[in-house]
Amino acid sequence: MSDATNSTLPAPRSPLGGLPRPEPGAPRPYHFPRFERRTLPNGLRLVVAPAHKLPVVTVAAVVRAGASSDPEGREGLASLTARALTEGTASLDAVALTRTVERLGAAVDAGADWDAAFVSLTTLASRLPEAFRLFADVLADPAFPEREVERLKQERIADILQLRTEPRGLADEMFARFVYAPGSRYGRPEAGDERSVSSLGRDDVARFHAERYVPGATTLVVAGDVTVDDAERLAREALGGWTGDAPSMPRVDDRPAARERRVHLVTKADAPQSELRVGHVGVPRVTPDYFGIVVMNAILGGLFNSRVNMNLREEHAYTYGAGSGFDWRLAAGPFDVSSAVQSDVTSAALGEILKEIDRMRAEPVSPSELSLATSYLDGVFPIRYETTAAIASALSNLTIYGLPEDYFDTYRDRIRGVTAADVQAAAVKYLKPDELQLVVVGNPSVRPDLESLGAGPVTVYDAEGKAIG
């Protein structure tokens, strides 16, 4: 009788008729669009990247007026101010502004993140002069109608109440609160909470704009079918009379709330699953170890084939997806691993996350893991900057974080240069198992399992973040 285990199966036929599979070619060279810097007499900085492939231009104003500059007790003011910019100018009410933008076939938007506020315009090059004047009015001469400011405020409050009914949004809010020291701006929502937003009014918005939206605190990024000289001329004509020096920026307290590991259970009795956040205070964007951290995180939880996702999704079937990330900011943003799992595997899933963080620190990554991560990061980089809006966004980040002029041209080489030793060194230095805060939003019935996990003392909270046990 033949032994089936020793039988030889015919080799699968090659789709190339027996020819060897071709090896991947070397990465094609990539060069970020050339750009030039200029400064207007009023202090307005200009960064222009001519790109004449399509007759489209994007203009972006980057203002040092992000959420980090919110006054204490007025959290959410930066976000509200930025959103209110497009609700009318001194010469056009909200309806007329919208109609003018539509007539021009343009798009105008405004918003704020932690580090800056943004006003953006994308338009056909042939409409740029008229659209630029409109953009300048939105940026420097908004009307802030009281009715519209109040509407935006109420929309934000409604969003807050809605988020608190959703475990995912609640987990994000509570994670920040438990990670950062009491009083830290980073410990409260970027767009403010119900109490702070309720206290804001039209006068607060107008005052914040007058203090923060000034040429000395603004960089104008222009990318697309335009010359540097034409971009400067348009900026001088529309914004040359704008005045104001840059105000001082408050220092963000990015200290951790605790130096020891703790478990925080935010109870939601009707939750069929648990939202998990595991992390600690990370590192500022400007760090010499940035590329090692990026590759390390890609292997840990930044890609579909990452260790965390393969463990929780593929090996244990605990979740549909899990990932990790560093939130890059001027000060130290958070690092976290996040997922959502069924309630009965909450403790087990947390245990696997802790194991993967420990393993990343304890042993070098394999050559295949390193190759997968660096090849992906290298390969997708050029396609991120195929539109004028993407180019303008990239140059905005260059401005905010003070990155080197050749940052985009050297990015791929820097990624490919990361070694397994670099990855492990980044993990040892920037992953801090003893400082991890484990946040669970879910059914209170998971508490006994969390205590049995032995990951740290367990504290129970209500949906408002008040300790109840």
DSSP string spanning 328-353? --SS--EEEEEEEEEGGGHHHHHHHH
Radius of gyration over alpha carbons of the chain, in Å? 25
- Close Cβ partners of 354 (under 8 Å, ≥ 6 residues apart): 278, 433, 436, 455
Residue from 178, 198, 260, 272 nearest 466 by CA: 178
Which one-letter DSSP state was computed for residue 181? P
For 233-262, the pLDDT digits (tens) are 999 999 999 999 999 999 999 999 999 999
- Close Cβ partners of 423 (under 8 Å, ≥ 6 residues apart): 292, 295, 296, 299, 364, 365, 370
pLDDT of residue 163: 87
Residue from 131, 81, 77, 129 nearest 102 by CA: 131
- 270 band by pLDDT with thresholds 50, 70 and 90: confident
Residue from 49, 84, 48, 46 nearest 65 by CA: 84
Distance of alpha carbon 379 from the chain centroid? 21
pLDDT of residue 9: 42
Which one-letter DSSP state was computed for residue 37? E
Whether residue 1 has pLDDT greater than 50: no
Give the whole-number percent of the chain exceeding pLDDT 70: 94
Whether residue 28 has pLDDT greater than 80: no
For 59-87, the pLDDT digits (tens) are 999 999 999 999 999 999 999 999 999 99
Angle at 112 between CA 90 and CA 334, to 5 degrees: 170
- 469 band by pLDDT with thresholds 50, 70 and 90: confident
Of the candidate ranges 9-13, 164-168, 415-419, 444-448, the one whose mean pLDDT is the lowest: 9-13
36-39, strands of its sheet edge to edge = 36-39, 45-50, 218-224, 56-63, 117-124, 107-112
Question: Could you give all domains of the chain from N- to C-terminal order, each with its CATH number?
Answer: 36-240 (3.30.830.10), 262-461 (3.30.830.10)
Sign of the dihedral defined by the CA atoms of residues 284, 286, 288, 293, in that order: positive
Whether residue 278 has pLDDT greater than 70: yes
Which residues on adjacent β-strands are paired with residue 112?
A: 117
DSSP assignment of 305-327: TSHHHIIIIIIS---S-EEEEE-
pLDDT of residue 10: 46
Whether residue 208 has pLDDT greater than 50: yes
pLDDT of residue 23: 63
Give the whole-number percent of the chain exceeding pLDDT 90: 90
